[in-house]
Amino acid sequence: MKPGFVPGLRAEVEATVDAGMQAAFDGRVIHPLYSTWSLVHHLEHAARRVLEPYLEPHEEGVGYAVEVRHLAPTPVGARVRAVAVLEAVEGNRVVCRVEAYNDLEKIAEGRQVQVVLDRAAFRRRIAEVQQRLGTAAAGTPGQGRTSREAPGV
């Protein structure tokens, strides 16, 4: 890690809730509100912004754990601000306190943990897993199938 990576570092991500961020399952909108998975995406993005400037060229940060309480609804069209604050560095684990707000109130709180790994070793691990699973090259989007739709199930 580069110097200066100390507790208290902070980063934010701002977004306006759009139709693609609504809580939807199996192609139908369940609630016309900011989905928990969109919320988690923005919180993880903020945490990545805390870490990324301090990674050395040979290092990579990967998501390890997320614990979030979604406290209040936010409708489509509202603004959201996701905040991550570096709380601790525990060995190769980076722990951020995360919170999100709309223009009225706090809408979420929790923690996000990233693990810092050797970039070359991590890429070898990815290639190994891809080979074992018989999947496409890195960066290829997944098919998004559920276990019900998976072949042979």
Alpha carbon distance 18, 32 (integer Å): 10
End-to-end CA gap in the chain: 44
Give the distance between the most distant pair of CA atoms in the chain. 51
Helix and strand numbers (H, E) in the chain are 2, 7
- The yes-or-no answer on residue 36 being catalytic is yes
Angle at 59 between CA 2 and CA 45, to 5 degrees: 85
Residue that has been written with the tokens 């739709």 in this structure:
149
Catalytic-role residue among 44, 60, 87, 99:
44
Catalytic residue among 41, 45, 70, 109: 70
Q: Can you tell me the distance from the alpha carbon of 10 to that of 109, in angstroms, rounded to the nearest whole number?
A: 15
The yes-or-no answer on residue 70 being catalytic is yes
- Catalytic annotation, pick one of 36, 52, 58, 128: 36
Residue 120, both tokens: 């070359």
For residue 11, how far is the Cα from the chain centroid?
13
44 catalytic, yes or no? yes
Known catalytic residues are 36, 44, 70
